[in-house]
Amino acid sequence: MKSLVLLLCFAQLWGCQSAPQGTGLGFRELACDDPEAEQVALLAVDYLNNHLLQGFKQVLNQIDKVKVWSRRPFGVVYEMEVDTLETTCHALDPTPLANGSVRQLTEHAVEGDCDFHILKQDGQFRVMHTQCHSTPDSAEDVRKLCPRCPLLTPFNDTNVVHTVNTALAAFNTQNNGTYFKLVEISRAQNVPLPVSTLVEFVIAATDCTAKEVTDPAKCNLLAEKQHGFCKANLMHNLGGEEVSVACKLFQTQPQPANANAVGPVPTANAALPADPPASVVVGPVVVPRGLSDHRTYHDLRHAFSPVASVESASGETLHSPKVGQPGAAGPVSPMCPGRIRHFKI
C-alpha cells in the first residue's frame, strides 16, 4: 500500500513538473548559434512578418533558448525563445526587408520577444504556436546614448495628431484623385531641435475623390486595397509651420501560400503552409482616432494575428511542458543565449 502511495506521488510530481531533466524523455539541447537553430528562427521570424497587421517588420537579433522535442509519432518540435528588433519597413509593405533597415538605438529602438513552437516533419516546417510582445528601449538609455535624440511620442499627442492630419491633407491635395484616409499611426517623435514632429503612418485608398470629400467617415476602403506608408515632418518655424510628406503606395495582397519558402531554407520543400483562409486578416482595419490612444509603439502582442495556434488546440498536443513556463526546471544550455546580431536593448 505504501509503495502505491509513493507511486502516485511520483506520478503527480511528473505531471506538474513535466519538464524532463535530461534527454531521456524526448528533448535535446541545441546550441543557440547552431545553424539548425538559426534556420528555424529565421523561418519563424519570416512567419511572424507575414502575419503582422500593424507596426513594423522584425528582424532576428538573438536566439535566447532552444529545445528540440521529439513528437509522437513523427517529427520534432523546436521550442524557441527569440529576440527581434523593429525595422524601418512597415508590416504591409510587400518589398523585402533591406539589409540595414534595423531601427537604430538613436531612433528609439523597439525590441520584440517571441516564443515559438515549430514542428518539423518530413522536411516541412509548420509554426504551431507563437506568442510575442515588444518593449521600447527605456528613455534613460536613449538619453544616455544621445541627450537630444527624440523619444517615441504617444499617438494621441496634440503635435502628433496635428502633424498627421496636416500631412494627410497635403498628400490628398497633391494627389489628384482618390481620397486616402488614415488607418494607422505607426510611429511618432517630437524632436527638440529644430522643433519639429516626425510621424510615420499608414493610409488607404477610399471610394471618395479627394476634391469632394466632406465627411471622411463616409468614405469606404476599396475592396482592392491600396495602402500607403507615409513619413512626414512638420517644422515649427517662426513664421508658422511647414509640412513635408512622402508616401509610398502599394497594393496589399494576401500572402501566397508558400511565401515563406523563400529565405535561408536549404530543404527544397520547406515551407510554412498557409493558415485557413477564414482566419487570415488582410491589412489593418480602420482604427478610430481616439484621444485615448496613448500608445507609443505597436506591441507585437496585438499587432500579430496568431492564427496558427488553432492547430495546437485541435488535438495536436505537443509532448512538452506547458507553454509559457518552459525552462522552469532543468539546466539551461550553456550554449545559450546565442550571439547578438545587431545590438542589445
Ligand X SMILES: *[C@@H]1O[C@H](CO)[C@@H](O)[C@H](O)[C@H]1NC(C)=O
Choice between 66 and 161, CB closer to ligand X: 161
Shortest separation between residue 152's beta carbon and ligand X, angstroms:
14
Q: What DSSP assignment string belongs to 158-176?
A: HHHHHHHHHHHHHHHHHS-
Instruction: Verify binding: residue 28, ligand X, rule CB under 6 A.
Output: no
Report the residue from 95, 176, 214, 314 that binds ligand X according to the rule CB under 6 A: 176
Choice between 107 and 115, CB closer to ligand X: 107
Is the distance from CB of 42 to CB of 60 less than 8 angstroms?
yes
Cell 507511486, located at residue: 7
Round to whole Å and give the CA distance between 108 and 88. Answer: 12
Choice between 161 and 203, CB closer to ligand X: 161
Choice between 154 and 337, CB closer to ligand X: 154
Q: Which amino acid is at 37?
A: A
Shortest separation between residue 337's beta carbon and ligand X, angstroms:
20
> Given the rule CB under 6 A, which of 103-111, 133-141, 245-253, 287-295 is the region that contacts ligand X?
287-295
Instruction: Verify binding: residue 156, ligand X, rule CB under 6 A.
Output: yes
Report the residue from 28, 144, 218, 294 that binds ligand X according to the rule CB under 6 A: 294
User: How many Å from the N-terminal Cα to the C-terminal Cα in the chain?
Assistant: 57
> Given the rule CB under 6 A, which of 106-114, 237-245, 251-259, 289-297 is the region that contacts ligand X?
289-297
Report the residue from 3, 95, 214, 292 that binds ligand X according to the rule CB under 6 A: 292
Round to whole Å and give the CA distance between 332 and 275. Answer: 33
Instruction: Verify binding: residue 175, ligand X, rule CB under 6 A.
Output: no
CA atoms within 13 A on the CB side of 165: 10
Shortest separation between residue 58's beta carbon and ligand X, angstroms:
16
Round to whole Å and give the CA distance between 40 and 231. Answer: 33
Determine what percent of the chain falls in helix, strand and coil, rounding each to the nearest 5.
25, 35, 45
Residues 88-127 interacting with ligand X (rule: CB under 6 A): 99-100
Round to whole Å and give the CA distance between 178 and 176. Answer: 7
Q: Which of 304, 340, 319, 261 is nearest to 79 (CA)?
A: 319
Report the residue from 12, 121, 158, 279 that binds ligand X according to the rule CB under 6 A: 158
Residues forming contacts to ligand X in the complex (CB under 6 A) are 99-100, 154, 156-158, 176, 291-292, 294
